[in-house]
Chains A and B, each alone.
Chain A
Amino acid sequence: MQPIFEATGISKSYGHILGCSNINLSLYSGEVMGIVGESGSGKSTLLNCLSAQIMPDQGEVIFRSPSRGEVDILKLSEAEQRYLARTEWAYVHQNPRDGLRMSVSAGGNVGERLMNIGNRHYGNIRTKAEDWMSRVELDTSRIDHRPSTFSGGMQQRLQIARNLVTEPRLIFMDEPTGGLDVSVQARLLDLLRSLVQELSLSVIIVTHDLAVIRMLADRMVVMKNGNVVEAGLADQVLDDPQHPYTQLLVSSILQV
């Protein structure tokens, strides 16, 4: 079996400031990988390079697309990148406002990706939007309400529905539980975990919350100053960290 996603030698600098340096990672179908590190460690730069939102200075990102076979993401035209990004990929933003259209109804938000790929049957689009709203545990009677009337947790679930409606294979998540109440976080994590299992999704999740890693990730990568300092099985890295920085990170968690 080959990885669905393989990045080699990803480097990105902003002038003299290092974003990330010579990063290699691969992801298999159905795998969840966590990238952790403190602010400024380069994890967001890495995520943006991997998802082709910014161009790295060096490196390649291979994606084995179910529909198109093996492609080097960074060599695709912008049109192809954007097409991929809204069909076989998804990107869940930390702030749902960045990932939703706040002036469009919940149904329109979920249906947009379908309309983007050429779906032109209103009834079918609506049925699918309802289906996905219920899969992320949103009340379907609110399909015509704007997300601005939703709570933060509901907005985040709507963002996930909007992203998953085209059944992507690979999902990038940037601190998906970042701005949520603890109780809402748990519900979202549970939802994400069951969706990952049910749909055999591959996920790259950037977070500084080790609890999110513990609950969702199979594997994890620890970043510091633009470099990967430790990588491995998520529970092993958390329970038996080897690198001084990882030990510091793990020991800094408050026990409750």
Chain B
Amino acid sequence: MSNDYNFAYLDEQTKRMIRRGLLKSIAIPGYQVPFASREMPMPYGWGTGGVQVTSACLVPEDKIKVIDQGADDTTNAVSIRQFFEKTAKVETTTHTEKASLIQTRHRIPEHDLDENQILVYQVPIPEPLRFLEPRESETRKMHALTEYGLMHVKLYEDIAHHGHIATSYAYPVKVEGRYVMDPSPIPKFDNPKMSMCPALQLFGAGREQRLYAIPPYCEVISLDFEDHPFTRLKANAECELCSANNSYLDEVIIDDEGNRMFVCSDTHYCEARQADGHRGKRNRLDQEGYDATHI
């Protein structure tokens, strides 16, 4: 099946259509642009939107990285990476700073991004108002007229029922003071990274057929109340492998007794720190030469 695919799988007309949509979405930060999403050789919900955006953006010189919940080595990440290796013959990497295009599901890498990079998000439900307003005609009108009170109703409900804003992922943001946007299900810990980010951030929702974007250096503000301000949320711990205390942590159950440990969700970040000699408590406790990746 070596050369039977067009470059990056999609035909040129389709890629052109998607690029036009992307240009429009970049011109109107946060605005959801409809596009004719194609059938992809993977099920909806596995990143078909992100894959189409990546496909439309790829050039042969690109070096791509794919992460799923921060990890380079999970099924979804591996198969999408292989998909582009096969269909576009581009180089792949796990190094955040070496990648020119990063496709992500549910995380923003810990390492700062730069102006030469594109971050492509996989989006399940692009409409932040959908939870409370099921009518598409009405939500479009609300966006058009900047009627965003309803978004705060959702946050109000959170506080009323939980005492604080319990939304911890897909936390709604306002882009450049205009459109309210769903940042895809990234943890709200990552929300501040979207603001004034030097990299281009593109969002693709395959099933819902929507594209949207945050151009570089855009202001992205997480919605909140004056008396319940937005807070980043992170486990109150440090990584037990690399001792990082400022990265987003996963809690991993490690045995049948229910013991658990906290590790960086961003695997490349964690490995890079360990390579630099940082050691977490589990690394220190174990004997010399312990291989963290086997836990």
Judge A-B direct contact (beta carbons within 8 Å): yes
The chain A residues found within 8 Å of chain B, CB to CB, are 78-79, 82, 101, 103-105, 107-108, 111-118, 120-123, 125-126, 143-144
Q: Is B153 an interface residue (CB 8 A)?
A: yes
Partner of B157, one of A104, A117, A118: A104
Q: With contacts A114-B149, A120-B225 known, what are 10 further pairs, Cβ within 8 A?
A: A78-B141, A79-B145, A82-B145, A82-B147, A105-B157, A108-B157, A115-B149, A115-B152, A117-B149, A120-B226
In the bound complex, how far is the Cα of B147 from the Cα of A117, in angstroms? Answer: 9
Give the residues in chain B near A122, CB-CB below 8 Å.
156, 159, 225-228
Offer 24 A-B interface pairs, CB within 8 angstroms, sorted by A.
Answer: A78-B145, A82-B145, A82-B147, A105-B157, A105-B160, A108-B156, A108-B157, A111-B153, A112-B149, A112-B150, A112-B153, A113-B149, A115-B153, A116-B147, A116-B150, A117-B149, A120-B152, A121-B227, A122-B159, A122-B226, A122-B228, A143-B160, A144-B160, A144-B161
In the bound complex, how far is the Cα of B157 from the Cα of A196, in angstroms? Answer: 30
Partner of A116, one of B132, B149, B157, B225: B149
Per-position 1/0 for B134-164, Cβ under 8 A of A: 0000000100010101101100110111000
Give the residues in chain B near A120, CB-CB below 8 Å.
152, 224-226
Q: Quick one: given A78-B145, A79-B145, are A103 and B132 in contact (CB under 8 Å)?
A: yes
Per-position 1/0 for B206-221, Cβ under 8 A of A: 0000000000000000
In the bound complex, how far is the Cα of B153 from the Cα of A108, in angstroms? Answer: 6
**Contact between A101 and B153, CB atoms less than 8 A apart:** yes
**Contact between A121 and B225, CB atoms less than 8 A apart:** yes
In the bound complex, how far is the Cα of B157 from the Cα of A125, in angstroms? Answer: 12
Per-position 1/0 for B252-268, Cβ under 8 A of A: 00000000000000000
In the bound complex, how far is the Cα of B159 from the Cα of A122, in angstroms? Answer: 8
**Contact between A123 and B227, CB atoms less than 8 A apart:** yes
- Say how far A208's CB is from chain B's closest CB, in angstroms: 30
Give the residues in chain A near B227, CB-CB below 8 Å.
121-123
In the bound complex, how far is the Cα of B153 from the Cα of A120, in angstroms? Answer: 10
- Say how far A120's CB is from chain B's closest CB, in angstroms: 5
Chain B, Cβ-Cβ closest to A116: B149
In the bound complex, how far is the Cα of B153 from the Cα of A105, in angstroms? Answer: 9
Q: Quick one: given A121-B225, A122-B227, A123-B227, are A107 and B156 in contact (CB under 8 Å)?
A: yes
Give the residues in chain B near A108, CB-CB below 8 Å.
153, 156-157, 160
Partner of B132, one of A104, A113, A143: A104
Give the residues in chain A near B145, CB-CB below 8 Å.
78-79, 82
In the bound complex, how far is the Cα of B145 from the Cα of A94, in angstroms? Answer: 27
Give the residues in chain B near A114, CB-CB below 8 Å.
149
**Contact between A101 and B147, CB atoms less than 8 A apart:** no
In the bound complex, how far is the Cα of B186 from the Cα of A242, in angstroms? Answer: 70
- Say how far B103's CB is from chain A's closest CB, in angstroms: 34
Chain A, Cβ-Cβ closest to B157: A108
